[in-house]
Chains A and B, each alone.
Chain A
Amino acid sequence: MNIHPTTAGMLLAGILFVLGLISILVRRDIIFMLLSVEVMLNAAGLAFVVASAHWGRADGQVMFIFILAMAAAEVSVGLALILQLYHQLKTLDSDEAAKMNG
Chain B
Amino acid sequence: MRFIYLDCSLKELSGHHYNFCKRIIGMAEEAGLPVTVLANNSLPADLADEMKVNIVPYFRFSAYSVLRETVRDSLRATETVRRRMLEELRGISGIGQDDIVYVNSVLPSQLLAVTEWVSEMGEKAPTIVAEVFYKTYIDFNESTYEENGRDFSDQVWLYVGDILPSPENMNFRLISFNSRVSNIYSRILHQPVFTLTDPLRVLAAPKNRAGKKKITIGLGGHQRHAKGYHHLEGIIHSFLRERDWDHVCFRIHNSRPDQAQDIQRSLHQLAAADNRIEILEGSCSGEEWNAFIDSLDIVLCPYEPGAYKGSWSGLACEGFSSGAPVVVPNSSASAEFLLNYNASFEGFDDWTVPSIFEALKKVVDHYDEYASRNYEAASAFYENEKGANIVKEIIEKFK
* A is bound by B: no
